[in-house]
Structures are given as structure tokens and as C-alpha cells.
């Protein structure tokens, strides 16, 4: 009996100890969770919203209809500004260029012939002027007849008219040379346009055609993403969006790397709501208005991580619309933002006025 009584007491003590330990653990972990939640809480003056990394897409297209001779880039390739990514077939254009150069040579030769003719006509004019001067002197002395004097005068006028005609022909020939050169330049421009180059530093997103295909004018060959124009669109309520302005500091945290903080700036605040209730009559309904805010990572901060940049990655964007508020520790970035450079068009532009008349919906 005594042994059973002792065992019962031991079991009760163990259960009590386990209960105390469980309550203590729950209290500890609850306190830790509360501390973490408080550490991640945003102070007033900072707004946040979910978003995803996006970039401007650039289409590489054929300016004129033609056949693709070669494509020098594949999906996923990183291309530099001015890098040749595709070439169109140049057989016809090269023939046109050769023909144009021959026409230029012919026109220049014609101009040279006309210049030689002008020299000859100038010599004839000088002779006619000399003979006319002599005939006028002799006629004044009644040495020659009136008929001979008139002939010399007529010869002089004919020589003058002939010279002017040759000069006009020279002007026409020189203009013809310029026309032929312009045709050659036009053909050369078409040849240059047939060599497709990347206008940006980016990555090939899609390869839309293959070698040997015949494309119409404007036919797309490749689609690039401009890696120097990386941004995230946020959708914020009217009260917060109305206080945000161009150049405000922002932060981006991405789901795959939650311990990294990317600095950014506000580059656009939509002047129109992206979502509007059917009726906007009360303050609570006005608070439902959502405005698109674009935050962009400066290009110079992207360059060191160019190989890691991908579009479509989800994350959270934060915007500080009150400069007096300090960034919380979990949003502090070790990389400083470069100085803000305001485009002239932006600096002269008034603050956008938020409207409540748009009936669009937030993109899914």
C-alpha cells in the first residue's frame, strides 16, 4: 500500500512538472512570436503592399519584309546595347546598293563632262567677246560693213547663251549626283536596319522566329526584358497614395531571399484609381480606392547582380512617405540609394491629382 501511495505521489509531481514546463514553454514561445511581430510592425509613415518584380519588354522586329538569314541570340542570353542579335537576308539590298553606286558614278561622270563643256564654252565666249570688240572698233571707223558687225554681235550673244545653258546642265547634273547619293544612302540605311541590334542591356525572353522564315514588315524576331528598368507595382489605398510623391524612398523584399533588402525609389503614382466602388459617397468607401504606385531599383544597383535578376518573383514593397520616420531594422539596407535625379519633364510637372472616377479593376 505504501509503495502504491508513493508511486501515485510521484506521478502527480511529474504531471505537475510537465504542466508547468508546458505553460512556461508556451509563454516563452508566445512572447518570442509577439516580439517578432512587433519587430516587423510598420510605423506610421511607411506603406506596404504585395507585388512582383517586373521589367519593360522590348521587341526586336524587322523594319522591312524579308527572310531571316541568322539569329545570334537564344532564349536566356544576356545581350548588351548595340549587340547584333539577328541578321536579315541582304542579297536584294546588296544588289540595289551596287546599282546605286553605279548610278552615282554615271551621274558624276556626266557632271565632269558638263564641266569640260563649260570650259570649252567659256573659251568660245572669250573669243566671241574679242571679235565683237574688234568689230565694234572697225565698224565705228567704217572699215567693215554693218552686216559683219551684226554677225559678231550675234556670235557673242550665242556664246553667252550657250555658256549659261551648259551651267544649267551642270547644276542639273550635280543635283542628279546628290539624288543618286541619296538613293545609295537610303539603301545603306535599309541594309543597316536589316542588322538587328539590341537597344538595351537585357535578357532574351522569347525567340519568336527561326532562321529562314520570311517576316512581314514589323515581324518580331526576339523579345527582350530590359534589365536596366526593374520595378515593382504596388496598389495602395488613397490615404497613403495621396501622400506619396516622386522620389520617395522605398524598399523591396523578395520571397526567395527574405533576408535581403533592395533599395528603390518611387517613379510613378497613378493619378487615377485602379479600383472604384460603384458608389463613392462615404469616407469608408473612399478608403477603398486603390492607386498604383511604381517603385524602381536604380540601374547602377542592378549591375552587380545582373545574372540573378529575374522577373515575376513575388515579394513585398515598402514606401516611406514621411521622411521623418526611420526605416525599421528589418528594412534597413546596406546599399545606399544614388542621388535622386529628377527629369526636367517631371520637375516641371505638378503633383498628380488623385481622382475617384476610374472604374478599372486591379489586375489579377
d(CA 50, CA 39): 19
The C-alpha atoms of residue 363 and residue 237 are separated, in whole angstroms, by 15
pLDDT at residue 17 in the model: 55
In the numeric block, the cell 514588315 is attached to 217
Indicate whether 353 pLDDT > 50. Answer: no
The per-residue pLDDT for 142 is 86
3-class secondary structure, 222: strand
Q: Which three three-digit cell numbers place residue 178?
A: 546628290
pLDDT band at residue 363 using 50, 70 and 90 as cut-offs: very low
Nine-digit cell string for 42: 510598420
Pairwise CA distance, residues 213 & 196, whole Å:
15
For residue 2, is pLDDT > 60?
A: no
Q: What pLDDT score does 336 carry?
A: 77
How would residue 4 be classed by pLDDT, with cut points 50, 70 and 90? low
Mean pLDDT of 218-234: 93
Which residue, 162, 154, 153, 150, is CA-closest to 124? 162
Mean pLDDT calculated for residue range 58-83 = 94
Residue 364: per-residue pLDDT: 31
Number of other residues whose CB lies within 10 A of the CB of residue 135: 20
Of 17-31, 38-52, 173-187, 262-276, give the range with the top mean pLDDT.
173-187
Judge whether 293 and 269 are in contact, CB under 8 Å.
Answer: yes
**Radius of gyration (Cα) for the chain, nearest Å?**
41
Q: Give per-residue pLDDT as tens, 283-310.
A: 555 556 889 999 999 988 888 888 888 8
User: Chain-wide mean pLDDT for the chain?
Assistant: 82
pLDDT per residue as tens digits for the range 85-129: 999 999 999 999 999 999 999 999 999 999 999 899 899 889 999
Domains and CATH numbers, the chain: 45-55+228-347 (2.40.30.170), 60-90+195-215 (2.40.50.100), 91-193 (1.10.287.1700)
With 0-12 CB in 10 A as exposed, 13-18 as middle and 19+ as buried, what is 307?
A: exposed
> What pLDDT sits at residue 126?
93
Within a 10 A sphere around the Cβ of 4, how many other Cβ atoms? 8
Q: Would you state the pLDDT for residue 285?
A: 52
Phi/psi at 291 (nearest 5 deg)?
-120, 140
pLDDT average, residue stretch 75-81 = 94
pLDDT category, 149, cuts 50, 70, 90?
Answer: confident
pLDDT at 38 over 60: no
Amino acid at each position: 500500500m505504501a509503495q502504491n501511495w508513493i508511486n501515485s505521489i510521484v506521478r502527480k509531481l511529474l504531471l505537475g512538472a510537465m504542466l508547468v514546463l508546458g505553460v512556461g514553454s508556451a509563454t516563452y514561445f508566445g512572447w518570442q512570436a509577439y516580439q517578432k511581430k512587433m519587430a516587423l510592425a510598420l510605423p506610421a509613415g511607411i506603406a506596404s503592399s504585395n507585388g512582383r518584380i517586373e521589367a519593360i519588354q522590348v521587341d526586336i522586329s524587322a523594319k522591312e519584309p524579308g527572310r531571316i538569314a541568322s539569329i545570334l541570340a537564344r532564349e536566356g542570353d544576356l545581350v548588351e546595347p548595340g549587340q547584333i542579335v539577328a541578321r536579315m537576308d541582304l542579297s536584294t539590298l546588296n544588289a540595289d546598293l551596287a546599282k546605286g553606286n553605279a548610278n552615282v558614278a554615271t551621274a558624276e561622270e556626266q557632271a565632269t563632262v558638263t564641266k569640260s563643256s563649260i570650259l570649252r564654252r567659256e573659251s568660245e565666249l572669250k573669243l566671241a567677246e574679242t571679235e565683237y570688240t574688234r568689230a565694234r572698233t572697225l565698224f565705228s571707223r567704217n572699215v567693215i560693213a554693218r552686216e559683219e558687225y551684226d554677225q559678231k554681235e550675234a556670235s557673242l550673244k550665242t556664246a553667252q547663251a550657250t555658256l549659261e545653258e551648259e551651267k544649267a546642265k551642270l547644276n542639273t547634273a550635280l543635283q542628279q549626283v546628290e539624288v543618286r547619293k541619296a538613293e545609295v544612302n537610303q539603301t545603306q540605311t535599309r541594309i543597316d536596319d536589316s542588322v538587328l541590334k539590341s537597344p538595351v542591356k537585357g535578357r532574351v525572353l522569347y525567340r519568336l522566329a527561326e532562321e529562314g522564315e520570311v517576316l512581314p514588315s514589323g515581324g518580331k524576331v526576339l523579345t527582350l526584358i530590359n534589365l536596366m528598368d526593374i520595378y515593382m507595382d504596388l496598389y495602395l489605398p488613397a490615404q497613403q497614395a495621396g501622400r506619396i510623391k516622386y522620389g520617395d524612398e522605398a524598399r523591396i523584399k523578395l520571397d526567395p531571399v527574405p533576408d535581403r533588402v533592395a533599395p528603390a525609389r518611387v517613379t510613378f503614382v497613378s493619378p487615377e484609381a485602379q479600383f472604384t466602388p460603384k458608389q463613392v459617397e462615404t469616407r469608408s468607401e473612399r478608403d477603398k480606392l486603390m492607386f498604383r504606385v511604381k517603385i524602381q531599383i536604380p540601374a547602377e544597383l542592378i549591375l552587380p547582380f545582373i545574372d540573378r535578376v529575374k522577373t515575376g518573383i513575388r515579394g513585398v514593397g515598402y514606401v516611406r512617405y514621411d521622411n521623418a520616420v526611420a526605416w525599421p531594422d528589418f528594412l534597413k539596407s546596406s546599399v545606399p540609394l544614388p542621388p535622386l535625379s529628377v527629369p526636367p519633364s517631371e520637375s516641371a510637372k505638378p503633383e498628380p491629382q488623385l481622382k475617384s472616377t476610374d472604374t478599372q479593376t486591379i489586375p489579377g
